[in-house]
Structure 1
Amino acid sequence: MSRYQFLQSATLKSGVKVKNRVVLPPMTECMALANGEVSRDELRYAAIHAGGVGLFITPVAYVNARGKGFEGELSVADDRFIPGLNKLATTIQQKGTKAILQIFSAGRMSSSAILRGQKTVSASAVAAPRPGMETPEELTNAEIEQTITDFGEATRRAIQAGFDGVEIHGANTYLIQQFFSPHSNRRTDKWGGSVEKRMTFPLRVVDAVQTAVKTYADRPFVVGYRFSPEEIEEPGIRMADTLKLVAKLDTLGLDYLHVSMGNVWRPSINDQSDKTPLIDQIQDAVTATPLISVGNVKTPVDAERVMEAGIDFVAIGRESIREPHWVEKVEAGAEESIRYTLPLTDLDELGIASPYFDFLAGMDAGGAHIGFEPALATTEKGNAKDLVFRK
């Protein structure tokens, strides 16, 4: 095939034109400075991995001090970070790639150590059902309103830093999802209870972000929203809840909805009898908003299968780590040269500094199937014991 659908351009609702439909999704890199400032390692990684994809979504940035989720995380919590964020946006925008800043609060998925002695926060004082997790403080009404304001302020900073858009991180068990989840949200006020009330916080965040764009943006500016379709917790988010949420989000004029899953074609993790891919159900519920789908996409054939299913954008995560020139090689007809392994000898070439490598190795050891595999690899220097990604 000489011309793939994923190489075609697209114009989003905001008016932003994206040169192709390949997305580099947000991936935890742990390479920011301790205070959340953009580091040289972060800039180097972005310079190596940007340029080919149409959209480059940054690792997540926290919108306020108690929203930090891990060490080495970006911050967009104060104006003093704008100059560094501007360097990051400019670096990503080489060769026409659009730079999207992902923004969030970690909520209960943090610790008092990471927060330098402050307690974690959430919709309710319910600990995440994972080993060692702390019981968070329930946010007061005033704190909830301030957090919503903080998302708007983070958007203003992203605009002033020169980004092309923001992605609201409503996935992966973080604060926005915590308000939507019946496990972490046990409130009986206007912020909790029915699925409609549990939507209140996510929808208010979207409104704050869109209001900031209308107020401050002097150019077309992208607003996207990422969500996880299900939770394994009991009680937890089920597809019936999610379909109601995405149907509402579909009416808000967002540029895209980003479906966070480890495999594009994954069926329900809760209803083992239903083998229908969740993305099919989501497509049925979303009629006006482009979708980004991610998960286990490696080869051009994998990516084209996503296009053929009528999904608007395909995100390539783990494969983009080991092959930053994936798009360029496809465009040049050099698919046979795409790298599907990651020897240790290539880490510096790919801009993978120690914190990022340690994070990836830890995720793999924890059963997240990042793809590391001990192996003997032959290099130009002879036989060396390397870690490689499985294809």
Structure 2
Amino acid sequence: MNSNYKSLFEPFTFPSGVQVKNRMLMAPMTNSSSLENGEVSEQELLYYRERSGGVGAVITASSHVSPEGKAFVNEIGADRDDLIPSLKKLADTIHAQGSKAILQLFHAGRMTSAELIGGKQPVSASGVAAEREGAVIPRELTEEEILATIKAFGEAARRAIEAGFDGVEIHGANTFLIQQFFSPHSNRRTDRWGGTLDNRMAFSLAVIDSVNQAVAKHAVVPFMVGYRLSPEEKHDPGITMEDTLKLADRLSEQKLDYLHLSVRGFWDGSIRDTADTTSRVVLVHERVGARIPVIGVGGLSSPDDVRTALDSGVPLLSLGHAMIMEPKWVEKVRNGHESDIRTTLPRTAQHELVLPDPLWDMLVNTPGWFPVV
């Protein structure tokens, strides 16, 4: 191995006691390759098997905690006990290659369609449509439904524990339900779940508490709980960096193992103020990194990219597009073969890269998403 990349392979121990063998994780990426009933498909298992082993941990694609929480066709289900055997197959597949397994838990809220959730109206913190073409006005959740959704996150965490995962990641990013409660755009409530910044944080904190209660009750070995967040929203009103830093302060006080930023580029500045070019990942790390580990992400494709990002002080990094195009990215760096890392997506490489049919169709038919050649 090139000695310049030694820092990538230092082990790391999370607050819960779970240890990973290096500083790189596979980022959670939608693949729409599960079965219609929420079970993990054979193609999906092969996809994860091919990409496990090198990274310290694999964070799965998002899994819905309740039926009305779906965002994508054919996504992983964590909303029923009969799905535990399927989840166990996924955890076992990742473990067999030598990586830790983290199940991402989410609820889409208003970022779904009636077609995906049995003809029902999507739900959210308030009856405010997303600012996207064709968005429908969601139904505001009742107090009873909010409490049931919070409980659903805890139940999904229990299923992940019973399936043998090493942790869960609470998906509070990418405009899904948890972010909808935090955002002043989507949350116009006047009860205890909205209004002030503290009230808009309440749903996130309640979900974390529900998950931690499940861990305390059911986990017999160390089990991680992470939280993913998007630092800003473009629209006004929307989440500002000041809001997020205050949220990060509160999250650092919870029993969490990490904060995982969701940004397009690790070094990208503000999406609200183009004059502010400071990395959002670095800002969060500088604010709370001494209290809680931060995972960075975004546009890290070469070993030098990863090393430079680690040099910022951010202790962990997740790889997304790089792991799609090069399943053995970590192994090639470790073995001194970094010059062999693929940086494009050949149209003839689906089977070689072990990419499920639905994911492959998305990759090659979405202009500008991947460098398809």
Structure 1 equivalent of residue 352 of structure 2: 349
* Equivalent of 2:224 in 218, 222, 235: 222
Corresponding letter in the other structure for 2:225:
V
Maintained 8 Å contact 1:23/1:316:
yes
SS across alignment from 1:198: helix
SS across alignment from 2:358: helix
Within-5 A mapping of 1:141-180: 141-180=143-182
Structure 2 equivalent of residue 379 of structure 1: none
Corresponding letter in the other structure for 2:254:
L
Deviation at 1:42, TM superposition (A): 0.8
Distance in 1, matches of 2:281 and 2:335, equals 31
Structure 2 equivalent of residue 205 of structure 1: 207
* Equivalent of 1:13 in 1, 12, 15: 15
Where in structure 2 are there 5+ consecutive unaligned residues? none
Maintained 8 Å contact 1:108/1:121:
yes
Spell out, residue by residue over 1:69-96, the C-alpha distance to the aligned partner (whole angstroms, 9 max, x if none): 1101111000000001000000011242
Distance in 1, matches of 2:60 and 2:108, equals 16
Where in structure 1 are there 5+ consecutive unaligned residues? 373-386
Distance in 2, matches of 1:36 and 1:357, equals 19
Distance in 2, matches of 1:279 and 1:317, equals 16
Structure 2 equivalent of residue 319 of structure 1: 322
* Equivalent of 2:294 in 280, 291, 295: 291
2:48 aligned with 1:49: no
CA RMSD between the two structures: 1.1
Structure 1 equivalent of residue 192 of structure 2: 190
Q: Report which stretch shifted further, 335-344 or 16-25.
A: 335-344
2:118 aligned with 1:131: no
SS across alignment from 1:242: helix
Distance in 2, matches of 1:127 and 1:57, equals 29
Corresponding letter in the other structure for 1:173:
T
Deviation at 1:359, TM superposition (A): 2.4
Maintained 8 Å contact 1:7/1:20:
yes
Within-5 A mapping of 1:9-88: 9-88=11-90
Deviation at 1:118, TM superposition (A): 1.1
Maintained 8 Å contact 1:6/1:314:
no
TM-score (structure 2 length as normaliser): 0.97
SS across alignment from 2:115: coil
Corresponding letter in the other structure for 1:338:
I
Deviation at 1:348, TM superposition (A): 1.2
Deviation at 1:314, TM superposition (A): 1.1
Distance in 2, matches of 1:101 and 1:274, equals 34
SS across alignment from 1:166: strand
Structure 2 equivalent of residue 90 of structure 1: 92
Maintained 8 Å contact 1:89/1:163:
yes
TM-score (structure 1 length as normaliser): 0.93
Distance in 2, matches of 1:144 and 1:312, equals 34
Structure 2 equivalent of residue 300 of structure 1: 303
Maintained 8 Å contact 1:125/1:135:
yes
State the 4+ residue runs in structure 1 displaced beyond 3 angstroms. Answer: none
Structure 2 equivalent of residue 383 of structure 1: none
Distance in 2, matches of 1:344 and 1:68, equals 30
